[in-house]
Amino acid sequence: MLHLASRSPRRSELLARLGLAFGTLDLDIPEQQGDGEPAFDYVRRVAREKAGAGLLRVAGVAGAVVLGADTEVVLDDVVFGKPADATEAAAMLRRLSGRSHQVITAVSVVSAACEAQAVVVSQVEVEALSDAAIARYLDSGEWRGKAGAYAIQGCFEAHVERLSGSHSGVMGLPLHATAGLLRQFGLLP
């Protein structure tokens, strides 16, 4: 049985697109970058920790497979996590305005016998945002709980000039890479 170690409705929606039955695990894994920890390593570590904690939760289930993922927005080697409030969200959006940034998504899949991981890096270029555009976006509320203070699958997509990489990865679960991992575990043909 496949288990998704995530409370994210987006990840559940994306994983469901692969046509697999799965359960979800509600875990509270700290998402804090270590001092001097590179962004790439941080995202990989958090995804692995989510999957590992999930596997511990379902250790008594025969054949359990757990998928954990983490997505972060990175600009100039600075990780833009989930903003605490609208002021922090506005500051993030101002820094992303008119620039290209990375979105790093790591996916870890673990079972009692095996572990595999994939990392997908996408480049997202945001148009120059006026203060009025930022205020309108903040009023939408979409920024809440989103790395980098935006959701590409919502109204913010109108501000994305270019995307190179995985659209579903920017949303939180790169489907092509995830399908490849699940094939390794015999969950997809």
d(CA 18, CA 33): 31
Question: Is the Cα dihedral 107, 26, 168, 96 positive or negative?
Answer: negative
Q: Which of 79, 111, 113 is nearest to 95 (CA)?
A: 79
Q: Of 26, 70, 77, 139, which is the active-site residue?
A: 70
SS3 string of 17-52? CCCCCEEECCCCCCCCCCCCCCHHHHHHHHHHHHHH
Indicate if 70 belongs to the active site. yes
For residue 10, what are its two tokens? 């987006």
> What is d(CA 182, CA 65) in angstroms, rounded to the nearest whole number?
9
Q: How many residues appear in the chain?
A: 189
The catalytic residue positions are: 70
